[in-house]
A and B are shown apart, each in its own frame.
Chain A
Amino acid sequence: MAVRDRARGGLGTEAARPDGIPKVRGDFAFSSDLHVDGMLWGRTLRSPHPHARIRTLDVTPALAIAGVSAVITADDVPGELHYGLISADQPVFARDVVRFVGEPIAAVAADHPETARRALEAIIVEYDVLTPLVDAEAAAGWEPIHPDGNVIRSVVIRRGDAAATGDVIVEGTYEIGMQDQAFLGPESGLAIPAEDGSIDLHVATQWTHSDRDQVAACLAMPTDMIRLHLAGVGGAFGAREDVSMQVHASLLAKVARRPVKMSYLRDESFVGHVHRHPARFWMRHHADRDGTLRRVEVRTTFDGGAYASSSMAVIGNAARFSVGPYRVESVDIEATAVRTNNPPCGAMRGFGSVQVCFAHESQMDLLAAELGMDPVELRLHNALRTGDRLPTGQVLRGAAPVAECIRAAMAHPMPDASPDEVLARPGGAGRTSTATEIRRGTGLAVGIKNLMYSEGENDTASATVRLAGGVATVKSAAAEVGQGFVTIAQQIVREVLGVEEVVFHSASTAEVASAGSTSASRQTWMSGGAVAQASRLVAAAICQAVALREGLTPEEVSLDGTTVVTPTARIPLADAVPDQPIEIATTFHHAPTEPLDEDGQGDADVSFAFAAHRAVVDVDPDLGLVRVVQITTGQDVGRVLHPTQLLGQVEGGTVQGMGLAVMEEIVVQDGFVKNPSFTDYLLPTTLDAPEILATFIEEPEPDAPFGAKGVGEPPIISSGPAVVAAIRDATGAPLRRMPVRPADVALG
């Protein structure tokens, strides 16, 4: 019998992605494709005002419409009236007051989407319109718009000598607009009531168990009476961390005693999920003549919108990473997330690090200019290394190849002059520019992102591995949102057990314990760690079984890679499996973290990942139009587990960051979203995407399973700031705001 040391499709290989072919062929069922016979269609009545008191709410005309099975409002919520990711401050339905445009007030279930739409129109709501609070910087001094107050969280980090200063001081103010996750699959799901009153909810989400707990609390049902099943997810990027239609659909199904499907339309989606926080910054950097950073001062306000969502955690990140991946002994940081009547903001890929990166990297460029120093050299001079202290006092114990990332990004060849064709120039198909009107510029930016949850939020991931008949099955509630964990989990099992055939079973909340959220670049580490741990326990159980079968003591049987070694034989693990299936469930923990103290000091993070981006842009300065030509990157990944999936994360994140630099912005005026469509919320097309060249720095992370760091977020953090720096280089425009609008360049 042939014995292979390693099963095909293990770690580091281009293992085939199990959901790849169905997705490419259009056979994959997304949550909006869900269907069951006899289902009703749910729709949501939403506030047309950013701030108003509800004077009257009368749903009886809607109930009178033929085909309408249920109409629910706050009065029908049997359990908790509020939900929320961290703090339950958001009403299931607004009762007395609405706090943002799009806030749910009622929901209906009807036999047809059109009937449901008419039912919404029939509901009578009378409002007393109130003055909306739309200026984040005025929030703290404004009359509270919510019982929890207008300041969601203020984080202070103070460290080192407050009198420290340097030879050179640079100061700047910066602003970042509101980015949207802009996933293609709208918020959607299907709630199916069972005979015993329990509910199966199939939904596109990032964290089934958190959804289950929030739905159960609002419906006043035990958690085991709500079974969350992950439906096909059409992108997430943080926007599916918060509950959207989960409670509404479940309650409608409970009341109507029929399956209820909900699927938002695109304009509804733009007010139906949280966005990336818009933010304003003031920063002052002090440095010596040789470029050594001496002190950094930061004041920043993040607009959290009407409800908290994950603002407390986002602002914690913003504070901890506001200096960037640089060593500095003295800091004075104040970061505040406030409540306004703007759309609620929460998690988006990069989670606070994106906003701060634009500000600290703009400052580093200002500083380099002031010192007459090469901006690359300035960054290398101050780059964090293993053993350095962060502003929180935490010592950086893991891999920190910041300088290597910068050098790798810079080492890629510069692009050639753009081809002499109109689609390759700024303005593209609009034919605005000829070659003589174009100027080229180059910019560099570097980012830092924590991996996993932080500040004492010590979460876990559970998984089950079963081995039977030569097939391994992973049961996990880790939400596959497109990132490819389904492949990684299979690779890990192959690596540990040497079994080639591995099935990934996306398990419901009734089958396995929580995997935690697919966010914070954590699933490869956490659920990957759980799958590895379970696989190793399965291997140990096989060894035990071999010992029992062969009449050996446990000490006489050992493992050599995926081979069972006895005094007389070497047997591949897969062939040593006993007749009885082996199934082991386990829970993985990361190293514990601690909350920050009142000076913002503490070991708040598990691990960090770094990336640097160099952007080359062509700009038409007269019109302010930009074509990003090339972005090169060096990224700290620990270890490459799947080269193509890694590149996919890097290319996607880089372009999403570039989108924030030059076009992606939710325009909010007086609390109203002015562009809730893909006609006017512009995402980069293939004609806008640059050439991307990536180098992966493989310095294994000591605590991480297989040494691998999460890779999803670092690509989005510094790519945008690098693009803005490149536009500055091409034009000389100061550009203190991201996204850069054509007028910012053309009219100054």
Chain B
Amino acid sequence: MPAAMPAAFQAVTIDYLAVLPMFVVVGGALVGVLVEAFAPRERRHAVQVWLTCGTLLAALVVLAVWSRDHQSVTLGGSVAIDGVALFLQGTLLLLAVIGVLVMAERFGGVGSDAFTPMGASTPGSSQEDAATRAGYATSEVFPLTLFAVFGMLIFVSANDLITLFVGLEVLSLPLYVMTGLARRRRLLSQEAALKYFLLGAFSSAFFLFGAALLFGYAGSSDLAQISQAISTGAGDLDGLLLPGVVLTLVGLLFKVGAVPFHQWTPDAYQGAPTPVTGFMAACTKLAAFGAILRLTYVGVGANRWDWQLGVAVIAILTMVVGAVLSVTQTDVKRLLAYSSVAHAGFILVGVLAFSQAAIGGVMFYLLAYGATTIAAFAIVAMVRQDGSEASHLSQWAGLGRRHPVVAGVFAFLLLAFAGIPLTSGFTAKFAAFAPAVESGTTGVVMVVVGVLASAVTAFVYVKLIVLMYFTDPVEGVVALQPSVPSTIAISLGVIITVVAGVAPATILQLAGNASQFLL
């Protein structure tokens, strides 16, 4: 453990192999920026897609081959590459590959179909038309994605509050931009981006303030030292501890979309380009839960009796509000947004169990939910009426008759969201709920609320299945033929959903083995 305040300058030892995946990703992002500057316009899309996927896969290989054997607290104590960090980073990279493949979908156009040719042009202006005619494409989204992934990789391994904050900002800023880049319904998209940015800035401020209070209490921003200060009672200013914990948690709960900090979720999910929505829903949620796990288990777990009940109330509210409001939605993306709120509540139930099994269960949940979500949003992006996304529920009527495969896959993914056995959703729910039941009465109460909320959300998903299968088709709604990348992405999502439902033992074992924090 390095000293908190070194008297003289000491060179920080860095275990490069432990953090190499992060370097690979940020390096790929920087190369991506150069590609934007120098590659000819017509080749940019292909180059960026290959580069981005290659970078993410390379990082994944590095992680699996080298970083795995270099578990350590490194970079001067600011980054902990332990089992939890490795599992979450690996999952992030995998999900990011799937997400990028979905973003790459062109549907026969020049650039990515989901993104506006020129983000800076006024919606509906002649400038926008000119950009379209000139064949512009926003291939910047790929380096932006890599930067966001870099931030997420930091976020799940950050071992002190400052690094955590840096990760938070690095992952958020590219996402704000990407949210505003939708090709269609651009005003909605820009509004969503602004809303996301403003609320995100607020939550960052909350987090920072909380971090400052915790520093004031413990005299260090290092999570391990904060934990030590709490357990030895060494802190001088006891009154700073609880506000500090609450404010940092608010900042993180905002990112996962927990009630009452969820208001941005439906708007951002609806306005963002659909592939970005899928990426955000899967990866941001994963990163934020990774950070919550580390903060609560490593950092401030010692005084959890002071705040645990409050977070339990938040978890219950999140499940209930997410489930109930999803019933009234008429837009597929908003519906999935509220369902993601409900899922955040389910995951929080697992987090609050405070056991090693809970860590494994939560990590499994994040993997399963992420894969299902990206695939689901990829399908949402395929269903069109008159060229634009048919996101209104009424437009999904009878899809099962016209496009049995697309509707069948989507129905399967919905059943996974609903948590029907033999899909990943059920295993994941079990993995998150079982430790909660074991943890005691509060846990049992949360689980009971959780299963009732599941029943409500199941109604929503089944309603959608009814719509697709049992009603007459709407004229003009078609599911576009996906290209190879997004077919691969959807297949991966479905495969993970099946495997994690039917034969989850291997993944659970992996998550279980990795569920140990390094202090």
Partners in one complex: no
* Residues of B in contact with A (beta carbons under 8 Å apart): none
* Residues of A in contact with B (beta carbons under 8 Å apart): none
